Structure 1
Amino acid sequence: MACALWCTKWKKLLYPALSMLGMLLVWQLIVVWGLVPNYLLPTPLQVLSSLVKEAHLLGAHVQTTLIEALIGLAIGIAAGSFFAILMDRFEGFYLAFEPLVTISQTIPTIAIAPLLVLWLGYGLLPKIVLVALTTFFPVLVSLLSGLRSVDSDMIDLMRVMRASRWQIFVQVKLPAAAEQFFAGVSIAAAYAIVSAVIAEWLGGISGLGVYMTRVRKSFSYDRMFAAIIVISAISLVLMGVIRALARTAMPWKQDTDTKKGAAHD
């Protein structure tokens, strides 16, 4: 049993590492063999060198982007959860706002960002608002889907036992919706960083988006790729934090996954 769990954990680390190394090798060979000019596509080694050289400067810009992303993400999660609960509780509220919420997500983020900058200036506020708007939808949809997919027989049983609406919500609906909720939050965490960077492209004094705009104008594509790697790394870290919180909040799910993994092996 212990050996099976150990092998499963190593597979989860080894296979992605091998695929990543293979991709980097292909990338390096494409540039070395001249299939793509080096001035258009830097090699992984050049990107790594720029990442080391620019570490201090990138760190300063990361701080700004993280502040924007985390504040906006917190607002998006709170607002999305609040609206999901209201839409689950009141059918009229659901019927009134569900089409509006869906339509709002057909508007591209890149189209909203310039308007927010014009209306709210070049400070943190427009970036935070854009992140909140971007993260609002996945949280709302995932939590609402989870709340509305609860087994009706379980709810009827709780009513027979004279449970209050609050008890049904806390003891039945929330645990059943937790997995979908955290899945939505995980997606929203990735969106948060990207949205903050997009907003920074259009105006600001610091942040990874501002850094990327500056290095692009100087045709420093190695530093551009370095910034992209940092953005991806931050997004992965945030998603990892959300997954850790999910495991803590849903210990029963972790036990189930462990048993399934062992049985599969």
Structure 2
Amino acid sequence: MSAVQTAASARGEAESRRGSGARLRRAAGHVLPPLLFLALVLVLWQAGVRISGTEESTLPAPTDVFSAMWENRTLLADNAWVTIQEILIGYTAAIVLGVGLAVVLASSLLAERAMYPWLVVSQMVPIPAIAPILVIWTGFDLRPKVIVIALVSFFPIAVNTLDGLKSTEPELLNLLKTLGAGRWKRFRTAQLPSALPFLFSGLKIGAALSVIGAVFAEWVGADAGLGYLILTLNNQVATAEMFATIIVLAVIGIALFGLVRLAERLMLPWYHAGRKEERA
């Protein structure tokens, strides 16, 4: 190998190492601050409970919560799987409903004027208040839970997607129309790419709300699930076990949010690349 080739190879390896180091530093910059903050909260929580002598039934220490989580791991896992199934089905229904409704409203000004106010009004009705009615109509099975989760989650998906579809530059749409592009081609080549960042913003909000919706649904009528387990533990004044259940719910919500965010980064690399350039 010539000296020139050796030098080029060495430079390439050095640049690769620098790139890997930069990626690790960026990842550490995103991960370490929340982990350090969590550690600080847990230390202060543990110290406060021990120093004040607070009873476990009022506020358990983190060590008591993690101990309860380990001792009841099978119970938590079984009920978590029930809740996860409800969330996935309800969240999927919310996506279909929200995106479909947004497309209809964006394609017709008359439909938007007629339906958008009622879309907003639908969020003024407390979901826990209508959940018992859904149980009466559908029974104590999966259906009322899926409906409640979908109702809680679909609104941000619908509104954000509608805003994204309407954000397309009118000049671009007029140009495509002049070039003979039909409605479907204009939607596929112009409106959909413009709406995707808005859609994923709504999906991330809906992912968090779907977990809340699952708990609401299980409080009204269920015989399994983490929401049902919280009610049962509350009647038993098992506070440490309740905190453990809440932590599992939080982990489910974070995991779903993370999956949506990962899908956004994989599907919209151009969007995130543009944002990095703006911040640079």
What's the TM-score bracket when you normalise by the shorter of the two chains? Answer: over 0.9
* Partner Cα separation in structure 2 for residue 196 and residue 160 of structure 1: 48
* Partner Cα separation in structure 1 for residue 216 and residue 143 of structure 2: 14
Q: Which residue of 2 aligns with 1:88?
A: 106
Q: 1:140 aligns with which of 158, 161, 186?
A: 158
SS in 1 for 2:52: coil
Q: Which residue of 2 aligns with 1:191?
A: 209
SS in 2 for 1:163: coil
* Partner Cα separation in structure 1 for residue 278 and residue 28 of structure 2: 16
Q: Which residue of 1 aligns with 2:62?
A: 44
* Partner Cα separation in structure 2 for residue 22 and residue 234 of structure 1: 23
The 5 A counterparts of 1:124-203 are 124-203=142-221
* CA deviation after TM superposition for structure 1 residue 38, in Å: 3.3
* Alignment root-mean-square deviation, CA: 1.5
Q: 1:221 aligns with which of 215, 233, 239?
A: 239
Q: 1:115 aligns with which of 115, 133, 137?
A: 133
* Partner Cα separation in structure 2 for residue 117 and residue 28 of structure 1: 41
* Partner Cα separation in structure 1 for residue 203 and residue 96 of structure 2: 11
Which gives a bigger RCO, structure 1 or 2 (Cα 8 Å, sep 6+)? 1
* CA deviation after TM superposition for structure 1 residue 258, in Å: 4.5
Asked whether the 8 Å contact 2:57–2:240 carries over to 1, the reply is no
The alignment's TM-score, normalised by the length of structure 1, stands at 0.94
- Bigger CA radius of gyration: 2
Range that drifts further, 105-114 or 215-224: 105-114
* Partner Cα separation in structure 2 for residue 24 and residue 154 of structure 1: 53
SS in 1 for 2:70: helix
* Partner Cα separation in structure 2 for residue 160 and residue 4 of structure 1: 47
Name the amino acid aligned to 1:256.
G
The 5 A counterparts of 1:210-249 are 210-249=228-267
Name the amino acid aligned to 1:118.
I
The alignment's TM-score, normalised by the length of structure 2, stands at 0.89
Q: Which residue of 1 aligns with 2:95?
A: 77
* CA deviation after TM superposition for structure 1 residue 115, in Å: 1.8
Give the unaligned 5+ runs of structure 1. Answer: none
